[in-house]
Amino acid sequence: MSTVSYKDAGVDIDAGNQFVENIKPLVKSTFDSNVVGGIGSFAGAYELPSGYKQPVMLGATDGVGTKLKLAIDSGRYDTVGIDLVAMCVNDLICNFGTPLFFLDYYATSKLDIEASTAVVKGIAEGCIKAESSLIGGETAEMPGMYSGKDFDLAGFAVGIAEKEEMNRLLHVKAGDTLIALPSSGIHSNGYSLVRKLFFEKLGYKFDSIVDGKELIDILLEPTRIYVKTFKQLKNKINALAHITGGGIVENLPRVLPENLKAIVYKDKIKVLPIFEIMAKHVEESEMYRTFNMGVGMVLVVSPENVADVLANSDGYIIGELTEGTREAVMV
């Protein structure tokens, strides 16, 4: 009677072990002095930093969405890991949390060691940019759940905040200035629309030249990580909003009290060329509720702190807060 192995079923344990060996130096490069133990245990361990009066732990999780499809189809795996980290840690800082550590989940049909190593290399690079330690992860081969070269990613970031600093609504007031921090590109939202527009409707190819660059380079530009800017300007910021899916109009109101509205001047926004191209084929309202339009983060700043924030960042003014019902109005 013939026997059947796990490898026959599509799961290669030896490949998984080789992958772990490949990523050990990448993971270790992200460690700080608070990481306890090494790689390969059943759980990652991280010692809480001292100096907090009432420390609160924060968690954020996210993925990369259908931007992954572009990475898979183009065979470009080196940047989506940065996106994964960015989408999580950029949310953490909006609650005034300082990122501490990160974990990832990588699920695929059949483990491609080269591709998966490139992905984790990007995750490690993102963690270094976010000053966060990559203390664990999980890789799953699941033939039957995924097909071909498809894979999926999920990320989990944990941070710490001082309890009294978390409720930013207490600091936001009428007359505050809205300062935009530029995005690096489309970031990681709206890619189902991006793919349909460029590749189905317009018939572009990955190597089509757009604004002097190959389209795939523009589309895979990794999401900007704002952690270092947050740490530098923390004491000058009343609140901050990560501009992801829903755009400015849906994300900015999340940091406003019920009695305030945000006035955002569209002509002040430094719209990136890729969005200007898309806007020729997509309604303006749809653009502003789907994409960041060149604004990756909006800072709410008191008038007396505006000069310092502008001098110590690449931010620029796009509006202000006034009395009214909680909403973001594009004018």
Q: Which domain CATH number covers 145?
A: 3.30.1330.10
Q: Are residues 149 and 177 in the same domain?
A: no
| Per-residue burial over 133-172, b = 16 or more CB atoms within 10 Å of its CB, e = otherwise | bbbbbebebeeeebeeeebbbbbbbbbbbeeebeebeebb
Q: How far is it, in rounded angstroms, from Cα 72 to Cα 107? A: 13
Q: What domain count does the chain have?
A: 2
The answer as to whether 17 is a domain residue is yes
Q: How far is it, in rounded angstroms, from Cα 227 to Cα 130? A: 5
Which tokens belong to 125? Answer: 């690079």
The answer as to whether 2 is a domain residue is no
Q: How far is it, in rounded angstroms, from Cα 273 to Cα 294? A: 9
Q: Are residues 212 and 151 in the same domain?
A: no
Residues of the chain with pLDDT under 70: 1, 4-6, 8-12
Q: Are residues 130 and 205 in the same domain?
A: no
The answer as to whether 275 is a domain residue is yes
Q: Is 65 left (phi over 0), alpha (psi -120 to 50) or beta?
A: left
Provide the pLDDT for residue 305: 98
Q: Are residues 76 and 174 in the same domain?
A: no
**Which residues is 210 bridged to in the sheet?**
213
Residue 315 contacts residue 299 (beta carbons within 8 Å): yes
Q: 125, 141, 166: which is the final residue of a domain? A: 166
Q: Are residues 192 and 155 in the same domain?
A: no
The helix or strand, by DSSP H or E, that contains position 160, with its residue range, turns out to be strand 151-162
Q: Are residues 186 and 321 in the same domain?
A: yes
Give the residue carrying structure tokens 């060149």.
294
Beta-carbon count within 10 A of 309 CB: 21
CATH code at position 271: 3.90.650.10
Range of the domain at 175: 169-330
List the one residue out of 30, 35, 85, 28 whose CA is nearest residue 60.
85
The answer as to whether 3 is a domain residue is no
Q: Are residues 180 and 321 in the same domain?
A: yes
Q: Are residues 110 and 183 in the same domain?
A: no
Q: Classify burial at 203, counting beta carbons within 10 Å of its beta carbon; exposed 0-12, middle 13-18, buried 19 or more.
A: exposed
Residue 152 contacts residue 117 (beta carbons within 8 Å): no
| Per-residue burial over 255-274, b = 16 or more CB atoms within 10 Å of its CB, e = otherwise | bbeeebbbbbeeeebebbeb
Q: Are residues 121 and 17 in the same domain?
A: yes
Q: How far is it, in rounded angstroms, from Cα 5 to Cα 159? A: 42
The answer as to whether 5 is a domain residue is no
Taking the mean position of all CA atoms in its chain, how far away is CA 253? 19
Q: Are residues 18 and 90 in the same domain?
A: yes
Provide the pLDDT for residue 19: 77
Instruction: Measure Cα distances from 1 to 4, 10, 201 in Å.
Output: 10, 21, 55
Provide the pLDDT for residue 44: 85
Beta strands 239-242 and 133-141 are: unpaired
The answer as to whether 75 is a domain residue is yes
Give the residue carrying structure tokens 């245990």.
41
List the one residue out of 270, 328, 330 whose CA is nearest residue 295.
270
Task: Please count the residues of the chain.
Answer: 331
Q: Are residues 178 and 158 in the same domain?
A: no
Residue type, 157: A
Q: 149, 166, 183: which is the final residue of a domain? A: 166
The answer as to whether 6 is a domain residue is no
Q: 109, 143, 166: which is the final residue of a domain? A: 166
The answer as to whether 8 is a domain residue is no
Q: Are residues 99 and 136 in the same domain?
A: yes
